[in-house]
Structures are given as C-alpha cells and as structure tokens.
Amino acid sequence: ETGVTQSPTHLIKTRGQQVTLRCSSQSGHNTVSWYQQALGQGPQFIFQYYREEENGRGNFPPRFSGLQFPNYSSELNVNALELDDSALYLCASSPEGTRPETQYFGPGTRLLVL
C-alpha cells in the first residue's frame, strides 16, 4: 500500500476530447510524477512537479499538461485526444527528503480513446 490513489480507474473518451486524471498522495509527498504506459511497454515519463512547479518534462507534446495542489493532489490534463493516447496513466509521489527517483506508484487510470 503506497498511499497513492488515482481516479477514475477506467475512462473511455473519443478522439478530440479532453480528459483530466487525478492523483492524491500522502501528506509530505511534495514531488509527483506522471507516466504513460502503453500496452506491452514500460512506463514513459511525462513530467514531474515539485511544490506546484513543473520540474522536468519528457518527450510529450504541450497538449499534455499538469497541475499540483498544496493538498498533495495533482492532475494530468490531455487535450485533443488521439487514439495513441490510449494507455495506463500512472502517478508516482516522493516523500520530502528522499531522492526524486524513489517514487511510489498509484494503481493507475486506464484510458481508452475511441
């Protein structure tokens, strides 16, 4: 049990729509990262937030955006959905005082784009 929760668990959208995925971490986990895991592949880093500021970004277009809130929750927003956005989206948080690379993952949100 990592204390990281994600909602919703499953989601179906159509191409062109927008989606917001949510993540809630434990108190004191002020670093949160988001990953995309396509079927049969390893997770790919999307971006990371530290104390509500973006702290690094992977090779994803600007239509992937995020927010982090003071209550240790965060959001991943994806605009203009494409079929290839279908994947498991994982958030991961890191407690204060640990290396950002040590991340505790939530169960994920499975997004299907039709």
Partner 1 sequence: AQSVTQPDIHITVSEGASLELRCNYSYGATPYLFWYVQSPGQGLQLLLKYFSGDTLVQGIKGFEAEFKRSQSSFNLRKPSVHWSDAAEYFCAVGSNDYKLSFGAGTTVTVRA
Q: Which stretch binds partner 1 (CB under 8 A): 12-20, 62-70, 79-87, 104-112?
A: 104-112
Q: Report yes or no: 81 and 113 within 8 Å, Cβ to Cβ.
A: yes
Contact between 95 and partner 1 per CB under 8 A: no
CA–CA dist 64, 48 (Å, integer): 12
Among 55, 65, 73, 86, binds partner 1 (CB under 8 A): 55
Contact between 25 and partner 1 per CB under 8 A: no
Is the preceding peptide bond at 95 cis, omega within 30 degrees of 0?
no
Summarize as ranges the residues that interact with partner 1 (CB under 8 A). Answer: 2, 4, 6, 33, 35, 40-45, 48, 55-56, 58, 90, 92, 99-108
